[in-house]
Amino acid sequence: QVHLAESGGGSVQAGGSLRLSCTVSGTTDFSGCVQWFRQAPGKEREAVSTTFLRGGATVYYPDSVKGRFTVSRPDADNMVYLQMDNLKPEDTATYYCALAVRGGYCTRDGAGLNFWGQGTLVTVSS
């Protein structure tokens, strides 16, 4: 059974950094893509990034995170990281990772994803 688990969330002051981890277990199918989403209180879920696991390329969506957030998968294994630097109060949200395997796909609305993590809360204070 495929399972995704996020970790690394917490509270930080504006300007600080956090690194979120997404651990994927129960599958060796890394042919698809991994996405990070976030959902702030009272707001709709927002796609943060898509990483294509075969080529390693990453697309970042909100202009507000470009240059501050970096996705990596250094060992090409079952861990995907979201490094978040120069955090701002508006980054406060629950962050989720999600996986698309064979038959799935990655889009900004998350409709094609096969598996989701439970989320990790990031709180940025001013």
Interval 64-122: pLDDT, tens: 999 999 999 887 678 999 999 999 999 999 999 999 998 899 999 999 999 999 999 99
- Coil, helix or strand at residue 107: coil
Round to whole Å and give the CA distance between 66 and 49. Answer: 10
The residue ranking higher by pLDDT, 49 or 56, is 49
Which residues are 111's β-sheet partners? none
